[in-house]
Amino acid sequence: MLIKVEEKLADEKSISITVYGDFNCPYCFALNERLESMGLSAAVNWLLVEHAPDLYKHSFSDIDKQELIQEVNDVHARAPNVELNLPVTRPNSRQASLLFATVLRTYPAAAIKAYSYLPCSVAAGAGYFRS
């Protein structure tokens, strides 16, 4: 996850935040929750990446599971106020990213709300991040 913040000073102060993130990343989810709680969702430009493009539900190995457990535990330690459940698996996020790109292109104003809901629905059957 990479974050770039720009402040533009003119007659009024505005903030633009660019985040490179992945829907299946618990750190990105925690960041999204934090930005929402600060009222900064509208200032965020999400640029989606697939940090594990070869990851599919059927190939979720024990090593992958241990990595995900460590990431979720790390997020719990760093952001204890973020409600974060340990999912059963970590899905490939390509379809969710394509859906978000379509919403962003077609209905830009709805993209903020769409991003908020997608992390919890990428693996809806797996009990992903939000409960």
CB 74 within 8 A of CB 113: no
Q: pTM (2 decimals)?
A: 0.76
3-class secondary structure, 101: helix
- What is the edge-to-edge ordering of all strands in the sheet holding 2-9? 2-9, 13-21, 44-48
- Which pLDDT score, from 0 to 100, does residue 77 have? 96
Tens of pLDDT, residue by residue over 5-42, are 655 544 446 788 888 888 888 888 888 888 888 888 88
User: How far apart (Å, rounded) are the C-alpha atoms in residues 118 and 64?
Assistant: 21
Confidence class for position 3, pLDDT limits 50, 70, 90: low
Average pLDDT, the chain: 77
For the chain, the structural domain boundaries read 2-126
User: How far apart (Å, rounded) are the C-alpha atoms in residues 45 and 26?
Assistant: 18
User: How far apart (Å, rounded) are the C-alpha atoms in residues 70 and 21?
Assistant: 18
